A = this chain, B = another copy of it.
Amino acid sequence: MPDAIESDQDMDVAHSEVLELGIPVACRSCQARHGVVCGALSSTQLRELGRHSLRRKIDAGCEIVAQGSESSFYSNIMRGVVKLCKVMPDGRQQIVGLQFAPDFVGRPFVRESTLSAEAATDAEICVFPRNLLDRMISETPELQRSLHDQALKELDAAREWMLTLGRRTAEEKVASLLYLIATHAEPQTATSTAFDLPLSRAEIADFLGLTIETVSRQMTRLRKSGVISIENFRHIVVPDMDELEKKISA
């Protein structure tokens, strides 16, 4: 298990290391990629934020924020996929969201997190101190607006998944997830799409409210019906996205 970012000490150490090395810890690259946070800030603010923020590589499986913990930072995803998880005391677990670059991670205005955020793939994030960003949010309506927009987007997504969880069959669920990932992954031609699954079968099951066996069966079902082809477990090819979409029936 890779180590988690557990406290601001952890971050501060890393940060000062970087400063000592004289590496520019700027957020300009975020802006270049239209990072949710950085796109809304003036260049003065960007410079200040850059001085106190930190770009950080995260291994797959590393926890960014733990459920029930108080986190003193926010992040912006620069690369990779982050999964948001809720677990019950008895161990049952549900993934309640997937986030991709350049999404913002963290719940503004509330310190304690009701869910954990964990890198699903190797990832890179830009870490901001909570206090500083909270101040900038209050001072910058445009930033507030950006984050509000993202919250609404996530809300729409969450509700779409509620429909999937509550009312779709196992096959429709798996097709929905493949469709979601395909449309958020990079390399797609006109109709055909190929991508790497950022999630293991177990994680897919936890996202869809199924078991790994059912996920596996439905994947081979989709393969046998020619909607997808599977190479090396993780790599999926969708010859015709329309066919995949039909399996969702929505």
Given A96-B163, A144-B144, A167-B209: A88 and B250 interface contact (C-beta under 8 Å): yes
1/0 contact string of A109-125 vs chain B (CB within 8 Å): 11000110000000000
Contact of A2 with B by CB under 8 A: no
Question: In the complex the two chains form, is B163's CB within 8 Å of A86's CB?
Answer: yes
Chain B residues, CB < 8 A from A88? 163, 167, 249-250
Within 8 A of B (CB), among A54-110: 84, 86, 88-90, 92-94, 96-97, 107-110
CA distance A141 to B86 in the complex (A): 32
Any B CB within 8 A of the CB of A14:
no
* Oligomer copy total: 2
Which A residues lie at the B interface, using CB under 8 A? 84, 86, 88-90, 92-94, 96-97, 107-110, 114-115, 138, 141, 144-145, 147-149, 151-152, 154-156, 158-163, 165-168, 206, 208-209, 249-250
Q: List 13 A-B contacts (CB under 8 A).
A: A84-B159, A86-B160, A92-B167, A97-B159, A107-B152, A107-B156, A114-B156, A141-B144, A148-B151, A155-B158, A158-B162, A162-B165, A165-B209
